[in-house]
């Protein structure tokens, strides 16, 4: 039989009533002739509660036990979903990560999927099971310990199963009805996209859009998994949601597909750094080892062998970045006059595959921001995106102005 993967996020399974609603959607697909793999998250708020319990035990907790605790929320949801489907006379059973098994690395709390053998589930499908309800976000390490995939890991689980089992499609059910040109909470002109290319979705996800987890989009693009983002709270229809698909499946698209933003950014500047071969490695190596997620990087022109190096990172990682640079300076690996942290900035980006073949997109973005009196602090570009750092107080103004300037409320 053809196979679908359906993933339900925390808000979609937050209560028993919502689990019943989700189960009815699954039942409809079974009635349409599909076998279904359902990936479930923990009930809304449950993971945060479990993380809180772990953190209360002590500051330096064992990451292996952390995974054992926080993965339990998905187990509860999987069991409840399977029971609900059974009450509907749908042959279903729940599966925990180790039962599949979903094989991962041993990086607890941030494991990566290595392999999903299909034998166990396929055997049960052959014996009459119609729905496998799999606990998302979790797997098993080479040592046989429970692992978790990091926040948003259930999206990654769903796409990985769709790739491993050759699913016809992977439907991600959440609390929004698709992917929008920007955050509808910022501008009422935001438009739901019927389709978006993998590359565009990957950029939007990495730049702050919360609809899909970045790793899930990477996997979908690598294995050509057709993704559909839908709302659990709207009635199903053929044109519901947004399809994330290869660029070739999109006939016409706007030059710019969307405007993304990240509110909690920081701009870090190392002043008077020696400009010599290897200096970038001496700076960003320690930052990487400290777990600092560096994004935008700009080096000024050297003046007498001295330069300034600017980079951005999440505002919550500023203290780690400062310590990493201080330690590197104390060790004699680098020398700089000062490290200045600006923690009141935001990143705003425009994204679109049409930018490859259209000139003047960046110029239009900069002109629009200038007309609104928004000063740009840092700029980075790629083939399909332009990102800027600006003062945080202008973030919403910038998003609205750019959305209007590129007329994103209009379909191509």
Instruction: Give residue-wise pLDDT tens across range 216-267.
Output: 999 999 999 999 999 988 877 767 899 999 888 887 678 999 999 999 899 9
Question: Can you tell me the distance from the alpha carbon of 321 to that of 379, in angstroms, rounded to the nearest whole number?
Answer: 21
Q: Output the pTM of the full model.
A: 0.84
Q: Above pLDDT 90, what percent of the chain? A: 81
CATH 3.30.2130.10 in the chain is located at 259-405
**Among the CATH numbers 3.40.228.10, 1.10.150.20, 3.30.2130.10, 3.30.465.10, which is that of 259-405?**
3.30.2130.10
Tell me the β-bridge partners of 312. Answer: 267
Instruction: Give residue-wise pLDDT tens across range 156-209.
Output: 999 999 999 999 999 999 888 899 999 988 999 999 999 999 999 988 887 766
| Spacing of C-alpha 3 from chain mean position | 25
Instruction: Give residue-wise pLDDT tens across range 125-151.
Output: 999 999 999 999 999 999 999 999 988
- Closest by CA position to 229, among listed 35, 3, 2, 7: 7
Question: Can you tell me the distance from the alpha carbon of 108 to that of 312, in angstroms, rounded to the nearest whole number?
Answer: 27
Q: Which residues are CB-neighbours of 237 under 8 A, at least 6 positions away?
A: none
Residue environment code for 338-364, b if the CB has 16+ CB neighbours within 10 A, otherwise e: ebeebeebbbbbbbbbbbeeeeebeeb
Res 209: pLDDT: 66
CATH architecture under which domain 3-175 falls: 3-Layer(aba) Sandwich (3.40)
Q: Sign of torsion, CA 166 169 173 174?
A: positive
CATH 3.40.1160.10 in the chain is located at 3-175
- Closest by CA position to 154, among listed 207, 86, 81: 81
What is the enclosing helix (H) or strand (E) of 235? none
Question: Can you tell me the distance from the alpha carbon of 284 to that of 282, in angstroms, rounded to the nearest whole number?
Answer: 6
pLDDT over 90 (residue 1)? no
Confidence of residue 305 (pLDDT cuts 50, 70, 90): confident
Highest mean pLDDT (candidates 171-180, 350-359, 395-404): 395-404
Average pLDDT score over residue span 24-52: 96
Q: Sign of torsion, CA 76 81 82 86?
A: positive
């Amino acid at each position: 039989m053809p196979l679908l993967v359906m993933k339900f996020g925390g808000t979609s399974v937050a209560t028993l009533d919502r689990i019943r609603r989700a189960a009815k959607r699954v039942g409809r697909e079974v009635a349409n002739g599909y076998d279904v793999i359902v990936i479930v998250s923990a009930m809304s708020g449950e993971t945060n509660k479990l993380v809180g319990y772990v953190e209360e035990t002590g500051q330096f907790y064992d990451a292996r036990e952390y995974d054992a605790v926080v993965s339990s929320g998905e187990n509860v949801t999987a069991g409840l979903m399977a029971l609900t489907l059974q009450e509907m006379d749908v042959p279903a059973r729940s599966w925990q990560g180790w039962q599949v098994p979903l094989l991962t690395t041993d990086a607890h709390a941030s494991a990566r999927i290595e392999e999903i053998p299909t034998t166990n589930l396929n055997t049960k499908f052959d014996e009459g099971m119609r729905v496998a309800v799999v606990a998302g976000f979790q797997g098993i390490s080479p040592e046989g310990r429970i692992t978790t995939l990091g926040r948003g890991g259930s999206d990654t689980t769903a796409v990985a199963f769709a790739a491993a089992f050759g699913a016809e499609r992977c439907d991600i059910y959440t609390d929004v009805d698709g992917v929008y040109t920007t955050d509808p909470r910022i501008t009422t002109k935001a438009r739901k996209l019927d389709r978006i290319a993998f590359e565009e979705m990957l950029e939007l996800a990495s730049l702050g859009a919360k609809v899909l987890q970045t790793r899930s989009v990477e996997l979908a693009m690598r294995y050509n998994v057709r993704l559909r983002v839908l709302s659990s709270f709207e009635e199903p229809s053929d044109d519901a949601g947004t399809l994330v698909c290869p660029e070739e499946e999109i006939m016409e698209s706007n030059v710019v597909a969307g405007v993304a933003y990240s509110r909690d950014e920081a701009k870090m500047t190392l002043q008077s750094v020696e400009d010599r071969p290897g200096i970038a490695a001496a700076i960003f190596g320690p930052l990487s080892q400290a777990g600092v997620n560096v994004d935008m990087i700009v080096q000024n022109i050297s003046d007498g062998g001295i330069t300034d190096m600017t980079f951005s990172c999440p505002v919550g990682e500023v203290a780690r970045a400062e310590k990493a640079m201080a330690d590197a300076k104390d060790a004699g690996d680098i020398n700089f006059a000062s490290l200045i942290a600006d923690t009141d900035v935001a990143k705003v980006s425009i994204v679109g595959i049409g930018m490859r073949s259209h000139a003047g997109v960046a110029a239009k973005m900069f002109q629009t921001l200038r007309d609104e009196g928004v000063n740009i602090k840092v700029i980075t570009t790629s083939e399909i995106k332009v990102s800027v750092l600006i003062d945080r107080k202008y973030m919403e103004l910038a998003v609205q102005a750019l959305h209007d300037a590129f007329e994103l409320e209009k379909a191509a």
